[in-house]
Amino acid sequence: MKISIKPFGDDFATEITGLNIQEPLDDATRDEVISALDLYATVVIRGEPVSEQAQINFARRFGALDTINGVLTTDIKRRVRPELTDASNMDAENNLFDLEDRRRLFNLGNRLWHTDSSFKRVAAKYSMLHAHTIVPDGGETQICDLRAAYDALDEKMKLQITEMVAVHSIHTSRAILGFDDFSEEERLALPPICRPLVREHRGSGRKTLFLAAHAGQVLGLTMAEGRLLIRELMEHATQRKFIYTHKWRVGDLLIWDNRCTMHRVRPFNEALHKRDMRRATVMETKPGEVYEALN
């Protein structure tokens, strides 16, 4: 399969053409996609909507998929295959969520800058989000380059944070928006996990920040000091010059490398428009740069 890579910038975000994700993916083409992700961190593949099985088959060519898709599990009827995360605003019958539905209130956290699954012991490597239905206004996905953000830090800040460790929890990000409607089972399923603020991105060899709205504490600092530091770093990392904004077309597959990016969805009229997005998540092969969960 012959593909073409068309960068949007020097080293962040690119479009790949000539790739049909419904067709079997040979090793050479897969390796080209991985090389593009290593360099650009974000890849856009245009096409038509494909079946869930086709999306799953494509994603599996890049590694093992997440086996726990969905934080809210109590009394929840799934709309999509268990190998996928439903990033939509619809219930199992494809009706729009009521505005007070706890799934909608939970999903509002996706408007915060975050990194998928940073709160899990084995974190996400690639997220592969596929558009089935888009909205006429808003609903863009923004991704920021945490490698470029690290490079732009002054040397004093780099030295300050080089050995620091942050505590990540899904409950931290949802608490920012006042959401705490978790069942006891849901609370126990995902205990806090600790990760370094700075890591080396294995694909490119570049140093990168590792941030998310899920991070709410820095070990060795007071709670207030840690949260102020995280806020300062996130404000720095989400400057316009570090951001790619993806304006969706039906059939798009947007892939980003969670090891060196953050992302968020932009607001849209959830009471009026359906936004049907389904994500396959390729996980890292082992815990890697992770510390024991806090008791």
DSSP-assigned letters across all residues of the chain: ---EEEESSSSS-EEEES--TTS---HHHHHHHHHHHHHHSEEEE------HHHHHHHHHTTSPBPS---S--TT---SS-TTSEE-SSB-TTSPBPPTT-HHHHHHGGGGS-B-TTTTSSS-EEEEEEEEEE--SS---EEEEEHHHHHHTS-HHHHHHHTT-EEEE-HHHHHHHTT-----HHHHHHS--EEEESEEE-TTT--EEE---TTEEEETTS-HHHHHHHHHHHHHHHTSGGGEEEE---TT-EEEEETTSEEEEEPP--TTT---EEEEEEEEPSS--S-BPPP-
Averaged over 7-25, what is the pLDDT?
95
pLDDT in tens, 115-141: 999 999 999 999 999 999 999 999 999
Whether the per-residue pLDDT at 286 is higher than 70: the answer is no
Averaged over 195-220, what is the pLDDT?
97
Averaged over 206-228, what is the pLDDT?
98
Domains belonging to the chain, first-starting first, are 4-283 (3.60.130.10)
Question: What is the model's pTM?
Answer: 0.95
Average pLDDT, the chain: 95
